[in-house]
Amino acid sequence: MSTDTTSAEPLVEVQDAVKYFPIKQGIIVKREVGRVHAVEGVSLTVRRGETLGLVGETGCGKSTLARCITKLHPLTSGKLMFEGQDITGLSRSQVRPYRRRMQMIFQDPYGSLNPRRRVGSIIGDPFAIHGEGERDERKPKVQELMELVGLNPEHYNRFPAEFSGGQRQRIGVARALALKPSLIVADEPVSALDVSIQAQVLNLLEDLQREFSLTYVFISHDLSVVRHVSDRIAVMYLGQVVELADSEELHDRPRHPYTNALLSAASIADPDQAAARQRIVLTGDVPSPIAPPTGCRFHPRCPKAQEICVQQVPPLLARSGDPDSHLTACHFPVEPGEDLTRVTATIPDEERAE
């Protein structure tokens, strides 16, 4: 999806987004005993017409961020702009008109369709909810949508259980398209599908983007998928964006040690290349988001960590030698050609992850 988007106007702007989930205990009076820091200080811009990829490990906050953007979760703090309007503090009823223009595609094609309802009424839901058309007027619209996403319109009266995973995801796509939104947030839309079906759904999404000039926020933990579809990619770690760059730039010149590690773990189709490359194996697990590390959140696992990484949060900036569009949150960005397997961190042992 290589449209020129550098000059395009922003569709979504996220500024210093913070989302905490309180952990409550107590039988009658619930006391807050802790917080999950799901998203912490994320600033992003999604430009009209582009595909922004969000990658990161499970639990790094990418789905939470997506749900904050589509107003399924309220932000703890920060600001959310959509089509130039501040929609941060809007109530559920106030947000309704915006819902038509931002839709979601969900990860699980089995869980995201109500098993007791017919496909026709599932896809017709957006019309029903937003009061568009009478019941009998909706049917041709729904069938048109079914045809658009490559489903047989005659299957209007079937139940989700009668479709395969790929077809179900197409149903989800049709539902998201119904109201002609400008933004579609796709939360791991293909990770539950077979590899062969993944390609079909990705191609469908690409075709639809071209046809309806859609903007995508595309979440995945699969770097090769994200690289294939995205114009720009944001890498997330423990609720923060650690690197943000154009898709090719990120793959060719990753600056953050975490991005390097992620890329080195991605699968390579050519076995010779795969054997030749050096894998960067990170020590330890992802720390708990309930008590995230100080300073740079990656420091307990980072091979390049030094004293300053424990104390100071590195800002997300364009580093020297990078284009303005390539932002990295690291005190010691990786130089091209640098071998991360040969460096060792110089921070106290108690700061290191096991």
Binding of residue 300 to other proteins (CB under 8 A): no
Q: Find the distance separating the first CA and the last CA of the chain, reported in whole Å.
A: 41
Binding of residue 83 to other proteins (CB under 8 A): no
> What tokens appear for 189 in the block?
């839309």
Binding of residue 120 to other proteins (CB under 8 A): no
With CB under 8 A as the contact rule, the residue among 163, 216, 218, 258 that binds other proteins is 163
**Beta strands at 240-246 and 317-318: parallel, antiparallel or unpaired:** unpaired
302-331: which residues touch other proteins (CB under 8 A)?
Answer: none
With CB under 8 A as the contact rule, the residue among 155, 251, 253, 352 that binds other proteins is 155
Tell me whether residue 37 or residue 67 sits nearer to other proteins (CB atom).
67
Would you state the torsion angle of the CA atoms of residues 315, 42, 324, 326, taken in this order, to the nearest 10 degrees?
Answer: 90
Binding of residue 217 to other proteins (CB under 8 A): no
Of how many residues is the chain composed? 354
Binding of residue 164 to other proteins (CB under 8 A): yes
Contact 289, 238 (CB under 8 A): yes
Residues 141, 99, 105, 205, CA torsion sign: positive
The residue range among 111-119, 137-145, 238-246, 263-271 that interacts with other proteins, by the rule CB under 8 A, is 111-119
Tell me whether residue 25 or residue 152 sits nearer to other proteins (CB atom).
152
Backbone angles phi, psi at 188, to 5 degrees: 45, 60
> What tokens appear for 42 in the block?
């994320």
Contact 202, 195 (CB under 8 A): no
Binding of residue 104 to other proteins (CB under 8 A): yes
Please name which of 167, 217, 165, 164 lies closest in space to residue 191, comparing C-alpha atoms: 165
Tell me whether residue 51 or residue 259 sits nearer to other proteins (CB atom).
51
Report, in Å, the least distance between residue 12 CB and other proteins. Answer: 15
Residue type present at position 217:
V
With CB under 8 A as the contact rule, the residue among 51, 70, 182, 260 that binds other proteins is 70
What is the Cα 341 distance to its own chain's centre? 29
With CB under 8 A as the contact rule, the residue among 1, 60, 151, 174 that binds other proteins is 151
Residue ranges in contact with other proteins by CB under 8 A:
28, 70, 72, 92-93, 95-96, 99-100, 103-104, 106-108, 111-117, 125-126, 129-130, 150-152, 154-155, 157-159, 161-164, 166-167, 172, 175, 196-197, 199-200, 203-204, 206-207
